[in-house]
Every structure is written in structure tokens, then in C-alpha cells.
Amino acid sequence: QVQLVQSGAEVKKPGASVKVSCKASGYSFTGYYMHWARQAPGQGLEWMGRINLHSGGTKYAQKFQGRVTMTRDTSISTAYMELSRLTSDDTAVYYCAREPGGIIVDFDYWGQGTLVTVSS
């Protein structure tokens, strides 16, 4: 069965960077896109960007351009999201989500979420 397992909770200081991993299993890793979204406490979902797991090509939301980097390691079926220059506004649960591809962009599987807390 398809599983997306994310890395554990992180506590970071303002100005630092965080790298969250998302290990996929149960399907052909490179046949899909992986997206990242976040959810601040008590708030809604916010899309951050996506990576083509075959080519490595990326598309980032304008809000995060220059601060986010999405990569993947196909040898271990793992996608990564790194966010730099953290502030308290970046405190949120970060999710990876699989996009099946094709003409429709939606997310059929989600990771369990990774809480990132930014605090001095």
C-alpha cells in the first residue's frame, strides 16, 4: 500500500533552516509529482510548491521563492523540502502529498505531517 512517512518534529531558532523528508513506499516513486503544503496552528492549508520526482524539476509558490528548495533522492524514494531564514511565522505542520499526474492536479496520498516550531 502507498505510504508517505515524514521525518520527526523539529525545533529551530529564527534565521535557521529546516529540512523535512518524505519517504515514499508502495508505488513507483519517479512516476509522480510530490507537493508540499503547510498548515499554521488553527489555520488552513497553504501550498508551497512541487517537484517532478522523475526530472527533479520544481515549481514554487511565489511566496516562498528564494527561501524553499525541494529535492529528491530516487535511490531511497525520498523527497525533501528545505526552508531557510525561518521566522516565527513559519511555525506550522508541513505535509508532503502525492499528485497522481495527468491533467488533474490533486493529492491522493498525504504524509502524516511534520511539526516545525520556530522559537528563540
Partner 1 sequence: SYELTQPPSVSVSPGQTATITCSGDKLGDKYASWYQQKAGQSPLLVIYQDSERPSGIPERFSGSISGNTATLTISGTQAMDEADYYCQAWDSDTEDVLFGGGTKLTVL
CA-CA-CA-CA dihedral for 44, 30, 69, 107, to nearest 10: -10
SS3 114: strand
Minimum gap (Å) between residue 108 Cβ and partner 1 = 6
| DSSP of 3-59 | EEEEPPPEEE-TT--EEEEEEEESS-GGGSEEEEEEE-TT--EEEEEEEETTT--EE
By beta-carbon proximity to partner 1, the closer residue of 80 and 95 is: 95
Binding site for partner 1 (CB under 8 A): 35, 37, 44-47, 50, 59, 61-62, 95, 97, 103-108, 110-113
**Least distance in Å: CB of 119 to partner 1?**
21
Is the separation of the CB atoms in 67 and 84 below 8 Å?
Answer: yes
Closer to partner 1 by CB, 16 or 61: give it.
61
Least CB distance to partner 1 at residue 53 (A) = 16
- As given in the structure block, the three cell numbers for residue 120 are 528563540
Min CB(43)–partner 1 separation in Å? 8
Of 1 and 120, the one with the shorter C-beta distance to partner 1 is: 1
For residues 73 and 108, which CB has a smaller minimum distance to partner 1 in the complex?
A: 108
